[in-house]
C-alpha cells in the first residue's frame, strides 16, 4: 500500500587613489553613469560595469549620477546618505554606490566607456575573491559553512557596518532550530555527473538522507525516516491547480539565513536542482513533496514569500514544469547516475534552475531554503543549492523569476 500510516512528519576610478577619492572635500563634483550585471561577493560571483566623467581637480566615483552639490560636507558627514562618512571609510562620499558596505563591481572589458572603480573602498580595484568552500566536510553541520557552500562567504559581526550573513542556522521548515543530521550535507558532487555550480562544494537538503549512493550515510532506499511530523510555513504546502495535496508535512529541514544586503545591491540569484522519488508515479496526487525559498520581507512577485516556482506559479515539486531529467525525458538520465535516484526506485529531477529576486541595498532579509515530504514520510526528495550571487546593476529592475540555468 502506497504511503501507509508511518509517523506523520519535515554582490577610484584608476585615475585617483582610492583613499583620496572625493574624500568629502567642499569642491568635490562627479557625474557619471553605470550599467552591467551583478557584483562580486565573497565567492567572486557577479560582475558589473561602471563609467563616469571627471572634471579637473574634482573627486571621482563608481557609477551613479550625482548632483553638483551632493558631496559638499565635512569628513564626519554622510553626504550621499549611504550610511558611511569619509571618517568611516567612504572613499567617495558623493556616490551612494561607493562605500565600505558596497559590493565590488568588476569593470566590463567590453564596455569602452567603463572606468575602473573601487566600489567597496578597500584600496583595491576590481579584485576577484576566490570561493570559500574548499575542504568543507560532508557531515559538517555548522550553518555558516552551509552558507559558504552555496557561495555566501562574508559574515557580518554584531554591531559591524557593511553586509553579509548576520546569522545562520539549520531549522525545521517553520524556522524552529533543529539539528538536521544526515538530512543536510555539504557535497563535492552528487552522483557521477552533477558538480557544484561554483567553488568545490554545494549544499544538499533532503527529506531523507542528503547523500548520493557512494557516500557514507546514504539512504540505500527511496525512503529514510528523519525528523518526523513538522509544521509548514503559513500558506504551505501550496496546491497546484487541479492537484490538491495533503496539508501535513514530515521530515522537513531548512537552512535559515539572515542577510544584510550590500548597499549597491539590486537583487540576488541562486541555482537549485530538485530530485524526487515521487516522480513519476505520484504526480498530481496528495503526496506533493516541495522545496521553497522563503523570503521575509516577501518581495513583490513572491507567493506567500516563496520565490522559487515556474511560470504558472507551480511550486517546486514533481508537478513543476521543469521536471526534465528521467528515462524518456528531454534531458535523459545522465544527471541521475550514481545519485541513488537512478537505482533505489524510479525517480526524476529538474536539472539546475536559477531563481532571482529583488532587494533594496542596505536592507536586512531572512532567506530560508526548506524541503519536506508531504502527506507521509515515504518517497523522499532532495534539493541541491549553490552559486548564490548578489546582483548590483544600477538602474536594472530585478523581478522574481525561475528559469533553467544556462548550460
Question: Is there a domain that residue 114 lies in?
Answer: no
pLDDT by position in tens, the chain (length 407): 454 433 333 333 333 333 333 433 333 323 233 333 333 333 333 333 333 322 222 223 344 333 334 566 899 999 999 999 999 999 999 999 899 999 998 887 888 888 888 999 999 998 887 899 999 999 999 999 999 999 999 999 988 999 999 999 999 999 999 999 999 999 999 999 999 999 999 999 999 999 999 999 999 999 999 999 999 999 999 988 888 889 999 999 999 999 999 999 999 999 999 999 999 999 999 998 999 999 999 999 999 999 999 999 999 999 999 999 999 999 999 999 999 999 999 999 999 999 999 999 999 999 999 999 999 999 999 999 999 999 997 777 899 999 999 97
Domain of residue 368: give its range. 143-404
Question: Is there a domain that residue 72 lies in?
Answer: no
Distance separating alpha carbons of residues 210 and 13, to the nearest angstrom: 46
Question: Is there a domain that residue 219 lies in?
Answer: yes
pLDDT value at residue 368: 98
Question: Is there a domain that residue 248 lies in?
Answer: yes
* pLDDT tens sequence across 310-361: 999 999 999 999 999 999 999 999 999 999 999 999 999 999 999 999 999 9
DSSP state of 86: G
Q: Are 54 and 30 in contact (CB under 8 A)?
A: yes
Q: Are 351 and 331 in contact (CB under 8 A)?
A: yes
pLDDT value at residue 91: 93
Residue 135: how many other CB atoms lie within 10 Å = 9
pTM (predicted TM-score): 0.84
Task: Determine which helix (DSSP H) or strand (DSSP E) holds 146, and give its type and residue range.
Answer: helix 143-150
Helix, strand, coil shares of the chain, percent, nearest 5, are: 5, 25, 70
pLDDT value at residue 2: 52
Residue 243: how many other CB atoms lie within 10 Å = 15
Residue 273 in grid coordinates: 536542482
pLDDT value at residue 113: 81
CA distances from 82 to 4, 33, 100, 360 (A): 57, 18, 10, 12
How many domains, in total, are found in the chain?
A: 1
Per the document, the length of the chain is 407
pLDDT value at residue 241: 86
* pLDDT tens sequence across 86-97: 999 999 999 998
pLDDT value at residue 65: 37
Question: Is there a domain that residue 163 lies in?
Answer: yes
Question: Is there a domain that residue 50 lies in?
Answer: no
Question: Is there a domain that residue 113 lies in?
Answer: no
Distance separating alpha carbons of residues 174 and 254, to the nearest angstrom: 8
Q: Are 275 and 290 in contact (CB under 8 A)?
A: no
Distance separating alpha carbons of residues 22 and 57, to the nearest angstrom: 10
Question: Is there a domain that residue 8 lies in?
Answer: no
Distance separating alpha carbons of residues 239 and 55, to the nearest angstrom: 59
pLDDT value at residue 129: 77
Amino acid at each position: 500500500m502506497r504511503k501507509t500510516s508511518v509517523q506523520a512528519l519535515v554582490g577610484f576610478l584608476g585615475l585617483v587613489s582610492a583613499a583620496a577619492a572625493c574624500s568629502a572635500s567642499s569642491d568635490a563634483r562627479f557625474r557619471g553613469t553605470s550599467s552591467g550585471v551583478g557584483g562580486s561577493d565573497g565567492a567572486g560571483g557577479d560582475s558589473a560595469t561602471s563609467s563616469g566623467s571627471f572634471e579637473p581637480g574634482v573627486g571621482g566615483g563608481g557609477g551613479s549620477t550625482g548632483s553638483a552639490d551632493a558631496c559638499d560636507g565635512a569628513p564626519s558627514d554622510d553626504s550621499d546618505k549611504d550610511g558611511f562618512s569619509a571618517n568611516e571609510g567612504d572613499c567617495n562620499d558623493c556616490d551612494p554606490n561607493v562605500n565600505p558596505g558596497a559590493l565590488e563591481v568588476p569593470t566590463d572589458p567590453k564596455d569602452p566607456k567603463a572606468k575602473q572603480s573601487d566600489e567597496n573602498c578597500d584600496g583595491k580595484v576590481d579584485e576577484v575573491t576566490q570561493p570559500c568552500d574548499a575542504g568543507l566536510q560532508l557531515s559538517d553541520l555548522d550553518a555558516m559553512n552551509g552558507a559558504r557552500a552555496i557561495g555566501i562567504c562574508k559574515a557580518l559581526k554584531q554591531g559591524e557596518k557593511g553586509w553579509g550573513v548576520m546569522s545562520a542556522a539549520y531549522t525545521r521548515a517553520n524556522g524552529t532550530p533543529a539539528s538536521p543530521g544526515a538530512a543536510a550535507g555539504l557535497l563535492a558532487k552528487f552522483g557521477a555527473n552533477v558538480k557544484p555550480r561554483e567553488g568545490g562544494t554545494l549544499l544538499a537538503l533532503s527529506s531523507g538522507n542528503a547523500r548520493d549512493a557512494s557516500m557514507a550515510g546514504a539512504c540505500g532506499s527511496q525512503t529514510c525516516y528523519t525528523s518526523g511530523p513538522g509544521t509548514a510555513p503559513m500558506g504551505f504546502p501550496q496546491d497546484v491547480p487541479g492537484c490538491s495535496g495533503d496539508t501535513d508535512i514530515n521530515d522537513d529541514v531548512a537552512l535559515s539565513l539572515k542577510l544584510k544586503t550590500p548597499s549597491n545591491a539590486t537583487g540576488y540569484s541562486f541555482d537549485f536542482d530538485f530530485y524526487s522519488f515521487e516522480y513519476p508515479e505520484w504526480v498530481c496526487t496528495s503526496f506533493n513533496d516541495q522545496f521553497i525559498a522563503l523570503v521575509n520581507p516577501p518581495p513583490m512577485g513572491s507567493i506567500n514569500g516563496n520565490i522559487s516556482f515556474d511560470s504558472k506559479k507551480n511550486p517546486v515539486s514533481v508537478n513543476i514544469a521543469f521536471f526534465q531529467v528521467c528515462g524518456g525525458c528531454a534531458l535523459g538520465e545522465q544527471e541521475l547516475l550514481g545519485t541513488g535516484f537512478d537505482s533505489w526506485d524510479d525517480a526524476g529531477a529538474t536539472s539546475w534552475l536559477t531563481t532571482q529576486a529583488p532587494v533594496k541595498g542596505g536592507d536586512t532579509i531572512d532567506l530560508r531554503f526548506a524541503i519536506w515530504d508531504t502527506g507521509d514520510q515515504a518517497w523522499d526528495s532532495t534539493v541541491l543549492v549553490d552559486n548564490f550571487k548578489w546582483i548590483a546593476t544600477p538602474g536594472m529592475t530585478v523581478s522574481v523569476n525561475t528559469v533553467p540555468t544556462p548550460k
